[in-house]
Amino acid sequence: MNISVNMPPCVAFHNGHFTAEDLITKVTRSGDLAGVFYDTDAWRALPPETAIYQVEMLKSPQGEGELYAGTTHLNPGRIGDEFYMTRGHFHQRREQGEVYFGLRGTGLLLLQDEQGKARFEQVSPGSVHIIPGATAHRLINTGTEVLSALAVWPTIAGHDYAALAQGFALRVVLQGGKIHGKEVQNG
């Protein structure tokens, strides 16, 4: 079952020195996520333009001490029995952490250290998540509505996707009507 819902309206950022022109919006579609979902046949069967998530972030100045603030809106849906999720990444600058704030919907934040040890945190409106340095993070929508979370992270953090080319140690699927975190043998 794949629900493709329209993306929610922009989350308005009201800040002393940011205006709507300072908002960067990026949509990630199923076609952008080759190799991310484990059921390749189901992924191929989905029209590649299917919107999976949208990130709206502020155009912060870059540099030490500067922060990005961005809201990820992750659609509900599954590819095969695997819930829609973000690509997930480590930060290039491993020592840089990130904070997530649950805004809407229900889901999971998958966190994984460099030794491959993975754990979940429940995401819901009002939840706050401290992502320490050297911890990969992926948002997963296990609900039936859009999952939205605000993130704040250093502009110098960068994204390292290559370190997760083998994927995360856990996948989240719906089986027998229940949500399962499944260990993945070969990443």
Ligand X SMILES: O=P(O)(O)OC[C@H]1O[C@](O)(CO)[C@@H](O)[C@@H]1O
Q: What is the four-CA torsion angle of 16, 151, 134, 63, rounded to 10 degrees?
A: -20
Answer whether 121's CB lies under 8 Å from 135's CB. Answer: no
Out of 159, 166, 180, 187, the only residue in the binding site for ligand X (CB under 6 A) is 159
Residue whose Cβ sits closest to Fe ion = 98
Helices (H), 14-170: 40-45
What is the 8-class DSSP label of residue 124?
-
Among positions 64-83, residues that touch ligand X (CB under 6 A) are 70, 72
Q: Is 42 helix (H, G, I), strand (E, B) or coil?
A: helix
Taking CB under 6 A as the rule, does residue 151 contact ligand X?
A: yes
Task: Please give the size of the binding site for ligand X, defined by CB under 6 A.
Answer: 11
Q: Which does 70 bind (CB under 5 to 8 A by kind): Fe ion, ligand X, none?
A: ligand X
Taking CB under 6 A as the rule, does residue 86 contact ligand X?
A: yes
Answer whether 67's CB lies under 8 Å from 155's CB. Answer: yes
Of 61 and 177, nearer to ligand X (C-beta) is: 61
Least spacing, CB of residue 87 vs ligand X, in Å: 4
Taking CB under 6 A as the rule, does residue 87 contact ligand X?
A: yes
Among positions 81-100, residues that touch Fe ion (CB under 5 A) are 98
Least spacing, CB of residue 75 vs ligand X, in Å: 13
Out of 89, 104, 129, 171, the only residue in the binding site for ligand X (CB under 6 A) is 89
Answer whether 174's CB lies under 8 Å from 107's CB. Answer: no
Cα–Cα dist 31/148, whole Å? 21
Q: Which does 127 bind (CB under 5 to 8 A by kind): Fe ion, ligand X, none?
A: none
Q: What order do you get walking across the sheet with 98-104 strand by strand?
A: 23-29, 51-58, 67-74, 147-154, 98-104, 128-131
What does the binding site for ligand X look like in residue numbers (CB under 6 A)?
28, 55, 70, 72, 86-89, 151, 153, 159
